[in-house]
Amino acid sequence: MMNSEQIATRRRLEAVMAFVFLGLLLMVVRAVDLQWLQSDTLAKAADSQRIRQFEVAAPRGKILDRSGRTLSESVEVPSVAVVAADLNAQDLPRLAQALAMPLHKLETRIGKRQGFVWLSRQVTPQIAKQVQDLNLAGVRIEKEWRRYFPYGPETGHLLGFVGIDNHGLEGLELAFNSKLSGESGKVQLRKAANGIKLPGSTWIKQPQHGQDLGLNLDISVQSIAYAALANGIQRTGAKGGSVVVMNPHTGEVLAMTSWPGFNPNSFGQYRPKDWRNRVVTDVFEPGSVLKPFTVAAALSTGRWTKDSLIYCENGKFEIAGKTIKDDHAEGWIDLRKLLVVSSNIGAAKLALDIGKDDLYGVLQDVGFHRKTRIGLGGESKGLLPPLSSWGPVETANIAFGQGVAVTPIQLASAFSIFANGGVYYPPQLIKGVAAQGHRVVSEQVANDVLEMLSDATKVGGTGTKAVPTGYTVAGKTGTAQKADKRGGYSKDKFTAVFAGIVPADKPELVIVVAIDEPETSIYGGTVAAPIFKQIAETTLPILGVAPTSPSYEVKQQGWKVQQANMQSDTQSMHSLYGLSLREVRRFALNSGLQLQLHGSGWVSRSEPAVVQGLQAGDTLEVWLNE
């Protein structure tokens, strides 16, 4: 028999064995729980600590002009981010210093967040390097895309701009955002226990590059139009203005520009109202520019010809208690002279004779009551009162351009019927989209009006200042009072307009110039016509349309010599330092170079620094400073 001491020892041993067994049992249960019951949850928790997944933005597609020259592209830039849970609080002061950011601002930006936080987006390479050199846990240098517009203000209103999140916010960037935007990718990264990123990464989904967008726009013509408009605004002290250049036979828009401009590379420095594209958003009463459509409607009835006479009442004509006046009193004149001297009374009496239906029909057919659907947001449909509201006074006023409002793009498209044998083509901005035209007036009527418009730019007409040396122009001036807030017309605010076709004998271009509130003069023939001339005489040679008038043969030879001298200058030029923006553009154009510009004013540096020996197609990057 065991004594009491042996019994106590045995019980202690049994108790120990029981505890050991119980411990082993708990370990088995715990192992089962960890390995089977919680395996998925724990694996995810482990991965969340050592694996991170991030979205990687895709570059947007380029916007290109008709020759494939880049108007808008995505440039890779660094941004600084952090996984807040991995960042050590003691590292914040050094990080703030590297970011050139106040410490309190950095602390506020992170706050109590634990996940991914942007600290500073689209930073300079110098800041990115300073942050990277710190090698802090949780801090990351991410690749983002910033939109770059090589031609700056020249294309600002048309192209619009892109926000920091790579989405289009204005212009074509907004209108075609879905096409230009790519699909973001996703990358998986691994990190050590201390939060430092381990080398190597795995693509879960590759980013998809956005599609390119080709335009009918010619950036050379666009630059010419922008410079001519800017010069004209400065010369006349005007509030603003717009220009459209079109191919009348296809509807292709070669240029559209507005003033004041804005630089899409720094759009935040401008007011939202400065972003709008006046060519499609702003309406104005066309004034006398509408008279060719009144004449076309009359000719289309068959009761009137270009030689028909109309009595202009010696300068004053009363209808329903309202008096219509002409600047130059006329008696009997034919329809040719009606457009040459721009008679309001002649146009009014013509419309009253043919009736409101015929005039309304022509204005409706050329699109004065609807959007052109050019593809840009914010487009106005203009104003053409419903036919039911046309009384004798309204019919007379509309005949010479009062009581109806159009946009510059509507006017350019409508005016093209006179260059295109009476067929209307809607404006086409996007390359590869075929326009469907429709006939508005007969070919004979269109040719007759074209001939009359040619007379309006000859001696005695209102559009003589629009004619470039060596070319013929068919065009019409317009001077329209602006409506005031009381429902009447301002006595000191006008819109000066010139719409023209060049060359008149073989039309290649339709150009519309609209100038808002000029100060030096109010007349389209004085204000808008010279801008038309500057655009036409510079653009036509670039497009291969040489002067044709025999009387200018000597001047043509001089122009050819000048071009040869310019080309020889580009071959011998060593540096661009100190040249103006216009001189740089001319050099790049003559040399066939791809030009990328930064800033404005005069050249401070270029890449390459030595430009002698550059070949056509090479890229030239230039920085300018005031």
**What phi and psi, each to the nearest 5 degrees, are found at residue 310?**
-140, 140
CB 390 within 8 A of CB 364: no
**What phi and psi, each to the nearest 5 degrees, are found at residue 90?**
-70, -15
Structure tokens at 271: 């007011």
| Secondary structure (DSSP) of 273-305 | GGSS-HHHH--B--GGGGHHHHHHHHHHTSS--
Cα–Cα distance between 67 and 542 in angstroms, integer? 13
Cα–Cα distance between 504 and 290 in angstroms, integer? 19
In three-state secondary structure terms, 263 is coil
Contacts by 128-133, CB closer than 8 A, 24 or more apart: 128/78, 128/80, 130/98, 131/80, 131/95, 131/98, 131/99, 133/98
Secondary structure element (H or E) that encloses residue 141, with its range: strand 139-148
What CATH architecture applies to the domain 560-625? 2-Layer Sandwich (3.30)
Cα–Cα distance between 417 and 587 in angstroms, integer? 37
219-548 under CATH 3.40.710.10, yes or no = yes
Q: What does pLDDT average to in each consecutive run of 10 residues of the chain (626 residues)?
A: 70 77 75 64 54 72 93 86 80 85 85 78 81 82 83 92 87 94 74 50 75 94 92 92 96 94 87 90 94 97 94 92 89 93 95 95 94 91 94 95 95 96 96 89 97 92 91 94 78 92 95 95 93 93 80 41 40 62 79 80 72 80 71
Burial state string for 347-380 with b = 16 or more CB within 10 A and e = fewer than 16: bbbbbbebebebbbebbebbbbbebbebebeebb
Q: Say what the pTM is.
A: 0.77
What pLDDT is attached to residue 132?
83
What pLDDT is attached to residue 570?
44
What pLDDT is attached to residue 563?
39
Name the DSSP class of 272: G
Residue in the structure block whose two tokens are 């605010």? 493
| Integer CA distances (angstroms), 483 to 65, 259, 320, 463, in order | 37, 21, 21, 25
Cα–Cα distance between 379 and 92 in angstroms, integer? 49
| Integer CA distances (angstroms), 26 to 13, 18, 22, 94, 176, in order | 20, 12, 6, 48, 64
CB 506 within 8 A of CB 450: no
Nearest residue to 294 (alpha-carbon basis) of 371, 368, 244: 368
Instruction: Tell me if the bond preceding 260 is cis, omega within 30° of 0.
Output: yes
Burial degree of 512 (CB within 10 A; 0-12, 13-18, 19+)? buried
| Integer CA distances (angstroms), 394 to 27, 283, 320, 322, 389, in order | 98, 19, 10, 11, 8
**What phi and psi, each to the nearest 5 degrees, are found at residue 420?**
-125, 30
Residue extents of the structural domains in the chain: 4-37, 52-64+73-148+185-214, 219-548, 560-625
Report CA torsion sign: 599, 600, 604, 607: positive
Residues 6+ apart with CB under 8 A from 310: 332, 333, 334, 335, 338, 346, 349, 350
pLDDT tens column, 498-523 = 999 999 999 999 999 999 999 999 99
Secondary structure element (H or E) that encloses residue 602, with its range: strand 602-607
Structure tokens at 19: 């505890």
Nearest residue to 149 (alpha-carbon basis) of 62, 226, 214, 26: 62
What pLDDT is attached to residue 12?
77
Residues 6+ apart with CB under 8 A from 360: 384, 387, 390
Cα–Cα distance between 316 and 526 in angstroms, integer? 25
| Integer CA distances (angstroms), 214 to 63, 72, 136, 433, in order | 6, 11, 44, 10
**Single-letter residue type at 3:** N
What pLDDT is attached to residue 203?
66
In the residue annotation, 288 being an active-site residue is answered as yes
pLDDT tens column, 46-97 = 555 555 666 667 889 999 999 999 999 988 888 888 877 778 888 888 888 8
CB 259 within 8 A of CB 229: yes
Q: Do domains 52-64+73-148+185-214 and 560-625 have the same CATH topology?
A: no
Half-sphere exposure of 519 (CA within 13 A, CB side): 8
What CATH architecture applies to the domain 52-64+73-148+185-214? Alpha-Beta Complex (3.90)
Secondary structure element (H or E) that encloses residue 130, with its range: helix 125-134
Out of 79, 120, 223, 288, which one is annotated catalytic? 288
**What phi and psi, each to the nearest 5 degrees, are found at residue 348?**
-65, -45
CB 257 within 8 A of CB 225: yes
Structure tokens at 600: 């404005």
What pLDDT is attached to residue 540?
92
